[in-house]
Chains A and B, each alone.
Chain A
Amino acid sequence: DTGVSQDPRHKITKRGQNVTFRCDPISEHNRLYWYRQTLGQGPEFLTYFQNEAQLEKSRLLSDRFSAERPKGSFSTLEIQRTEQGDSAMYLCASSFLAQETQYFGPGTRLLVL
């Protein structure tokens, strides 16, 4: 499968715990995006990378959230001290520099109890 992959697909955690999600983009894509989606809403932009550089972060991304893309390939999104309001689907997308089209992974569904 050469699409965007995300791991894990589902995560249940207790409030206050840390969680980390991984995204593997399409191999030749140099842009990688993270979005958050709650039920009945469109995806909300969180942050994006061009290669290993994090070029923009949304105001939605509090200090508890951190994202990395150390070698310009896969990316991780970590949430520290999770809160119930963090429960959502976390989506990763990738695109090739010269294109606007973003291809999405299946998402990681997070439930914070």
Chain B
Amino acid sequence: QKEVEQDPGPLSVPEGAIVSLNCTYSNSAFQYFMWYRQYSRKGPELLMYTYSSGNKEDGRFTAQVDKSSKYISLFIRDSQPSDSATYLCAMSEYAGNNRKLIWGLGTSLAVNP
């Protein structure tokens, strides 16, 4: 079993829809949770960063972390064609100097005009 599971999709929605993206994980030591957006042939771009449990909102984006269920979500409201990209979840634990990120496979999202 991979440490981080993420449905690769593809997910296709009409413009204006609410999008829900999810990851599950197995390592209860993870404390830092991130969502990255990656356009084709580009490096990942940080969207949201959350420490421990709870919700965080930034514009049209909301990140949720449920540590009891080992489940994180990213919601995109009023989705736009420019949101079409691959969305990667990533997480890390505090373990001294070891802060490498563990990644999901990424979910490919297409928002259709």
Shortest distance between the CB of A70 and any CB in chain B (Å): 20
User: Using a Cβ–Cβ cut-off of 8 Å, how many residues does chain A contribute to the interface with B?
Assistant: 27
A residues 88-104 with Cβ under 8 Å of B?
Answer: 89, 91, 93, 95, 100-104
Pick from A93, A100, A107: contact of B32, CB under 8 Å: A100
Counted as pairs of residues, one from A and one from B, with CB atoms less than 8 Å apart, the total is 63
Contact A100/B99 with A40-B8, A41-B105, A42-B104 known, Cβ cut-off 8 Å: yes
Shortest distance between the CB of A109 and any CB in chain B (Å): 7
* B46: interface (CB < 8 Å): yes
Chain B residue contacts of A4, Cβ below 8 A = 43
Chain B contact-residue range equals: 20 to 34
B85-113: CB near A (< 8 Å → 1, else 0) gives: 00010101000011111111110000000
Chain A residue contacts of B97, Cβ below 8 A = 50, 55-56
State A41–B42 Cα separation when bound (angstroms): 14
* A45: interface (CB < 8 Å): yes
Shortest distance between the CB of B69 and any CB in chain A (Å): 21
* B45: interface (CB < 8 Å): yes
Residue with the highest number of chain A CB atoms closer than 10 Å, among B32, B98, B101:
B101
Chain A residue contacts of B60, Cβ below 8 A = none
Chain A residue contacts of B43, Cβ below 8 A = 4, 6, 91, 93, 104-107
State A14–B73 Cα separation when bound (angstroms): 42
In the complex the two chains form, is B99's CB within 8 Å of A31's CB? yes
* B34: interface (CB < 8 Å): yes
Chain B residue contacts of A103, Cβ below 8 A = 46
Please give the residue numbers on chain A whose beta carbons come within 8 Å of chain B beta carbons, in ascending order.
Answer: 4, 6, 31, 33, 40-45, 48, 50, 55-56, 89, 91, 93, 95, 100-107, 109
- In the complex, given contacts A102-B46, A103-B46, A104-B36, what are 15 additional A-B residue pairs having Cβ atoms less than 8 angstroms apart? A33-B100, A40-B105, A41-B105, A41-B106, A42-B88, A42-B103, A43-B44, A50-B97, A55-B98, A56-B100, A91-B43, A93-B43, A100-B92, A105-B43, A106-B42
A-B pairs, top 6 by smallest CB distance, nearest first, are A42-B103, A104-B43, A100-B32, A45-B100, A107-B43, A106-B43
